[in-house]
A and B are shown apart, each in its own frame.
Chain A
Amino acid sequence: MLLRYLLLAAVALVVVFPIYITVVNAFLNPGEIAHRPPYLWPRRFDFGAFGTAWSRGHLGRYLLNSLIVTTVIVAAQVATSVAAAYAFAFLRFPFRRTLFVVFLATMMIPFEITFFTNEQTIVHLGWYDSYLALTVPFLATGFGAFLVRQAFLSLPSALSDAASLDGAGHWRFATRVAIPLARPAIAALAVFSFFAAFNQYLWPLIVTKDERLRTVQIGLRYLRTSAVDQVNVTFAGTVLAILPLLVLLIVFQKQLVRGLTAGAVKG
Chain B
Amino acid sequence: MSNTTVDPIPNHMTAQRPGAAVSLDRVTKRFDTADAVSALSLEIAEREFLVLLGPSGCGKSTALRLLAGLEYPDEGTIRIDGVDVTDLEAKARDIAMVFQNYALYPHMTVRRNIEFPLRNRRVPAKERKELVDRTVDALALTDLLDRKPAQLSGGQRQRVALARALVRRPAAFLMDEPLSNLDAKLRVQMRAELIALQRRLETTVVYVTHDQVEAMTMGERIAIMDHGVLQQVGTPTEVYGRPANAFVAGFVGSPPMNLLTAHVDRDGPGATVSLDGARVTLPVGLAELPAGDVLIGIRPEDAAIEPDAALRAEVTVVEELGHERQVVCRTPSAGSVVVRLATDGPVPRLGETVGIVAAPSALHLFDAASGDRIGP
Residues of A within 8 A of B (CB): 156, 158-159, 161-169, 172, 176-177, 180-181
Alpha-carbon distance A11/B168, docked complex (angstroms): 63
18 A-B residue pairs with Cβ-Cβ distance under 8 Å, sorted by A, are: A158-B99, A158-B103, A161-B97, A161-B99, A162-B97, A162-B103, A163-B116, A164-B69, A164-B89, A165-B90, A165-B97, A166-B117, A167-B117, A167-B121, A167-B168, A172-B120, A176-B116, A177-B105
Task: Enumerate B98-122 residues with CB–CB distance to A below 8 Å.
Answer: 99-101, 103, 105-107, 116-117, 120-121
For A164, give the chain B residue with the smallest CB separation.
B90
Task: Decide if B206 is an interface residue (CB 8 Å cutoff).
Answer: no
Chain B interface residue count, CB cutoff 8 Å, equals 24
Q: Is the CB of A158 within 8 A of B164?
A: no
Q: Which of A156, A168, A169 contacts B103 (CB 8 A)?
A: A156
Q: Is the CB of B91 within 8 A of A164?
A: yes
A interface footprint on B60-98 (CB within 8 Å = 1, 0 otherwise): 000001001110000000000000000001110001110
Q: Is the CB of A165 within 8 A of B116?
A: no
Measured between beta carbons, the chain B residues less than 8 angstroms from A180 are 107
Q: Is the CB of A161 within 8 A of B116?
A: no
Measured between beta carbons, the chain B residues less than 8 angstroms from A169 are 91, 120
Q: Is the CB of A164 within 8 A of B117?
A: no
In angstroms, how far is the closest chain A Cβ from the Cβ of B167? 10
In angstroms, how far is the closest chain A Cβ from the Cβ of B104? 8
For B69, B96, B117, the residue with the greatest tally of chain A CB atoms inside 10 Å of its CB is: B117
Alpha-carbon distance A25/B155, docked complex (angstroms): 65
Q: Is the CB of B99 within 8 A of A162?
A: yes
In angstroms, how far is the closest chain A Cβ from the Cβ of B90? 4
In angstroms, how far is the closest chain B Cβ from the Cβ of A78? 19
Task: Decide if B7 is an interface residue (CB 8 Å cutoff).
Answer: yes
For A181, give the chain B residue with the smallest CB separation.
B107
Q: Is the CB of B99 within 8 A of A166?
A: no
Q: Is the CB of B95 within 8 A of A165?
A: yes
Q: Which of A156, A158, A166, A181 contacts B116 (CB 8 A)?
A: A166
Q: Is the CB of A165 within 8 A of B91?
A: yes
For A177, give the chain B residue with the smallest CB separation.
B105
Measured between beta carbons, the chain B residues less than 8 angstroms from A159 are 103, 105
For A183, give the chain B residue with the smallest CB separation.
B107
Alpha-carbon distance A167/B91, docked complex (angstroms): 4
Measured between beta carbons, the chain A residues less than 8 angstroms from B117 are 165-167
Measured between beta carbons, the chain B residues less than 8 angstroms from A164 are 68-70, 89-91
Known: A161-B90, A165-B90, A181-B105. 20 other contacts (CB 8 A): A156-B103, A158-B100, A161-B65, A161-B68, A161-B99, A164-B69, A164-B70, A164-B91, A165-B91, A165-B96, A165-B97, A166-B91, A166-B164, A167-B7, A167-B121, A168-B120, A176-B105, A176-B116, A177-B105, A180-B107
Alpha-carbon distance A177/B108, docked complex (angstroms): 9
Alpha-carbon distance A172/B89, docked complex (angstroms): 15
Measured between beta carbons, the chain B residues less than 8 angstroms from A166 are 91, 116-117, 120, 164
Give the 10 A-B residue pairs with the shortest CB-CB distance, closest first. A158-B103, A167-B120, A162-B103, A166-B117, A164-B90, A167-B91, A158-B99, A168-B120, A165-B97, A180-B107
For B71, give the chain A residue with the smallest CB separation.
A161
Alpha-carbon distance A253/B341, docked complex (angstroms): 69
Measured between beta carbons, the chain B residues less than 8 angstroms from A167 are 7, 91, 117, 120-121, 168
Q: Is the CB of A158 within 8 A of B101?
A: yes
Q: Is the CB of B106 within 8 A of A181?
A: yes
Alpha-carbon distance A168/B117, docked complex (angstroms): 7
For A161, A168, A169, A177, the residue with the greatest tally of chain B CB atoms inside 10 Å of its CB is: A161
For B115, give the chain A residue with the smallest CB separation.
A166
A interface footprint on B38-67 (CB within 8 Å = 1, 0 otherwise): 000000000000000000000000000100
For B7, B70, B100, the residue with the greatest tally of chain A CB atoms inside 10 Å of its CB is: B70
For A155, give the chain B residue with the smallest CB separation.
B106
